[in-house]
Every structure is written in C-alpha cells, then in structure tokens.
C-alpha cells in the first residue's frame, strides 16, 4: 500500500506527501533508480508506518538499507521511525547519515531538530527522576552465584559497547559458570556457544551489557538472584528505564556498573566503574552467596 499524494507525509514534516517526499523535486534524482526489491521494501515500510506498526516499519526500512546502504529516503525514514519509537540516539544517527548523503533536503534538517529537542526534554525529565531510584541500586558487588548469565542486546547499536562486550566475554572466558546470551531485536533470546540452545537462563546472576533496551518476555520467569546493569552512555532515560525493567518494576534491587566516570557522573547513582577487565574482576571478587 503506497502513501497517497494528498496524505500527510510519514516523515513527520506536517506537509502533504506530494509537497514533501512525494514531490518531484523533493530529492534530486539518483543516477539510477533503486532496484525493485528496495522499492518494495520501502513501500511496505511506509504502509506499516502509516498504520502505527513501527517495529515492522523499522524492519522493512532495515531491509531496504541492507540492499542499498546509502539510500537517503530509507535512512531518513528509519530515523523518523526511531523517533516515533523514542529511540532518540538512534534517530539522530540515522538522520545525520541521511543528511550527509543529501544535505539539501529541508525536511531532514527539520526532523533532526525535532529529534534533538525531544531528546533534550526527555533527558531532563529522566534526570530529575533518577534520584528516586537510589534506594533500588544496591551498594557494592553482587553476591556470586552458581551461574552468571551475560545478556547482550542486538538493538543497541554502539561500536564502543561492542568492543566492551567482546572484551568482557574474553575476560570471563575461563569461568566455567558463565553463560553468554544475545537478545535479538524482537526480544527473543539466542543462546551463545556455551549455552544449550533449547534452554533459557534461570536463577543465578544476570549481567545486562547495555542500558536502554528492556529484557524480553523470557525475563519474566528468569528469577534472578542478582542483576547487574552495565551503563554505557550518559543517557538518563536509558538508565531509568533499564533499572525499572530489570528490577521487575522495583520488585528487587539491582547493581550498576558504569563504563566511564562521565557516565557515572551523569547517572549520579552508586555503582562500580571501569573497563571490561575491571568489571570481570569485580564479578569474580563478589562474596559468595550464603544460600
């Protein structure tokens, strides 16, 4: 289902589609038309976006970008979808990439300003609420348990965090009780090489590498003995949301670990701080759980 020329443009500009992305002069003609598969993915993405099906729209724009990584419209519109999903860091990165490809499209600059303003307002609100979580952030290292589950997130697109995660996995590689898991973008959990593919993590210590993405439905029955959140960026809302989701809406306390002093200062909550090797040492030196 293609967007009608008199419909509001899905990019969020407030203009009619024919006066924005549907206008003949909105974007300078590319040297060659996108392949049919890219056009099909874009049309499907627009249809999902118009229906408010943002996860499906995101997936289809991602498919278009897999086929054509420098497609301006796919980058711009996926950035708009990320904005609609309140993923402001990601929205900014995508729209900036689009502007880098074609800086002459006014709508893209307008949407970038919307993203920056919304992110600033939300961050200030979350920053004001973080002190209320202080009592739910446990001091010191968590008690060691029989098994440690390290959970990573496909949805967190951060090169720094990818390096941090890889370093942490190397530092913990010799620990027989460590299991590595990867949560996919749809919330499903995939076992690492050292975990049984048919199993799900149960009990033990859970170390969530990255803040800003809630654990999937699998976490409802996980029954963690302890939970650690590795906070990788100065993003008050990511920390606030992650503490609430990992603590099962403040049903139990969590431990925080910050990847840098700057991130720790922004959160202003107690927790450990350092590189991946320091985190691995902190987890190893945790006192044994008397239970």
Nearest to 218 by CA among 197, 236, 202: 202
Contact by Cβ (8 Å): 263, 271: no
pLDDT at position 233 is: 85
- Residue length, the chain? 291
- Percent of the chain beyond pLDDT 70? 87
Question: Is pLDDT above 80 for 26?
Answer: no
pLDDT at position 19 is: 64
Question: Is pLDDT above 90 for 11?
Answer: no
- Segment 121-128 mean pLDDT: 90
Q: What is the dihedral of CA 37, 33, 16, 115, to 10 degrees?
A: 70
Question: Is pLDDT above 60 for 83?
Answer: yes
Pairing of strands 178-183, 189-191: antiparallel
| Confidence label for 71 from pLDDT (cuts 50, 70 and 90) | very high
| Confidence label for 190 from pLDDT (cuts 50, 70 and 90) | confident
What pTM did the predictor assign? 0.69
Among 57-66, 91-100, 162-171, the range scoring the smallest mean pLDDT is: 162-171
Alpha carbon distance 80, 13 (integer Å): 10
């Amino acid at each position: 289902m293609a967007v009608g020329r008199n419909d509001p443009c899905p990019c969020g500009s407030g203009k009619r589609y024919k006066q924005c992305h549907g206008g003949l002069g909105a974007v300078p003609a590319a040297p060659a038309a996108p392949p049919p598969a890219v056009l099909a993915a874009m049309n499907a993405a627009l249809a999902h976006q118009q229906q408010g099906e943002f996860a499906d729209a995101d997936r289809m724009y991602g498919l278009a970008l897999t086929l054509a990584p420098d497609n301006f419209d796919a980058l711009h519109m996926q950035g708009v979808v990320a904005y609609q999903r309140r993923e402001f860091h990601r929205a900014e990165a995508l729209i900036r990439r689009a502007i880098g490809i074609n800086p002459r499209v006014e709508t893209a600059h307008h949407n970038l300003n919307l993203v920056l303003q919304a992110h600033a307002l939300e961050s200030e609100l979350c920053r004001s609420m973080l002190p209320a979580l202080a009592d739910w952030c446990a001091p010191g290292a968590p008690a060691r348990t029989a098994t440690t589950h390290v959970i990573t997130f496909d949805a967190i697109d951060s090169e720094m965090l990818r390096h941090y995660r890889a370093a942490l996995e190397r530092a913990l590689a010799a620990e027989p009780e460590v299991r590595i898991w990867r949560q996919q973008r749809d919330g499903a959990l995939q076992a690492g090489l050292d975990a049984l593919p048919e199993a799900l993590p149960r009990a033990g210590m859970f170390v969530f590498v990255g803040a800003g993405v809630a654990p999937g439905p699998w976490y409802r029955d996980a029954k963690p003995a302890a939970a650690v959140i590795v906070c990788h960026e100065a993003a008050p809302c990511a920390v606030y949301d992650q503490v609430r989701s990992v603590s099962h809406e403040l049903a139990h306390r969590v431990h925080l670990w910050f990847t840098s002093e700057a991130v720790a200062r922004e959160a202003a909550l107690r927790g450990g701080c350092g590189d991946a090797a320091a985190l691995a040492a902190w987890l190893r030196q945790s006192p044994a759980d008397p239970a």
